[in-house]
Chains A and B, each alone.
Chain A
């Protein structure tokens, strides 16, 4: 699995390098000096070369992965994804419902994700986090929060 993953990553970087190089080609020339496209061209070629090296290193037997993980391991693997989704939702809500509600919801939901059997803690974390950050940024920095 690790080898397969590395191969996929290498292909991904190769695609990024290709797009980046296409972007470099569209940059204007500059008389008398290498121009704005010169450095990006070097970088794009370097990334492509490194991606090919990664692909070469990835050849080999496929390993074990997700299918063989225990249920507890799978939950732990999901947590970062859920934490990322919650953080994205926090940013989306921040500019729609304001700092207090969005922060309280975010803190409570993240606490729930990490400590599912202690609901009292979710409320405590939400309240303390919201209050502490408001004090830190508004009182200490004088910044108006959304």
Chain B
């Protein structure tokens, strides 16, 4: 059941109506039933793994409170059980293949036959969510939830199951504990967000995807500016797809009176890569920071490591290297979370770490250069330069994210640096799968999104602004958005627009 599909729409409508029609004491039960239906349609295996993982987490959390002596063992038992599912389905093949490659380098070989399974849906997302909860209980940041209905509702909340956001129990619990009354304004806001998300997905992401698939699918024929344009379009596709998904998910949650954490905050306005990751997939970044990065540095292993480095390089440099090492472990984890493939580990993992570390190391020199050149860093032009620079760095990294293999990514880079600029002709620009009209729609939509994002960045929430306007203007804008989707959306026969990129994780 995809997020943009008829069956999902029916599920939401039925769940929404029942949610507010039944006595409030049954609201969580209605949500849980909807979660169950959604997971069931994803496949019985997904359903079994999801609810088993939630059950293990629930009982382990209760065990943490009840059995003080065995807290550590219970905690690690829970983590290992939940993570082992993720490892088995997503990473076992990768590690075996990597081991075989390494053995090959040394002239050895081994084989390890494993049965291949399709990973249960959303396993990457709910694994982190449940492990985060268990960690919070273990570190006594929150108390274990005794209400099984509430906890199962949290763990399997259907809108966020497929692409996140990865929420903390403390963020959701207040909504699950309170009686959620029908709020007209929340519902309106939620619906507007859903429409905006569908617009991003069906009008922009699907169009950009055509260009990306054509150029990356034949990077021997499409070289030079074609590949650069294709890479930029991949950035557009990624943001419109993932961002659109988030708007839909958060909008649906708002219909039920639940406020999920934001996952994007105008990322393309970032001044540097570090800030970019504070604005892009925010919940994943903060989860890995809070549960991997910081705890890692508190471990004794890292303590010894830091001491040795301080002895060798001096205290200042030693501490820096320790922090950088922890950062690289963090980014390795982020890359690995996206999938068991070196393109992910490098593209959205280690390469990002290098960007940030180099940025941090070069920061004093940049500051000196800016002073020497007397550059005013508060001007629009400088901020634009910073945003474009960040965008270019991210596009370079995303080439690895998009390419099927490392070798393909390197080939794409080599094909990019040719003199092929024929894309600048009408024949060229319309040779990548989209005709002139589609390109006009795509570019116009991108401009509209940029305008909206600019307003969000510098002024206020666009929806809050819209709802303050008069009814004629407000409804005209909403109708315009609806008909932009109806007319320009890529859906219907011949399309399979419902699958979101991040649903693959």
A, B: real partners? no
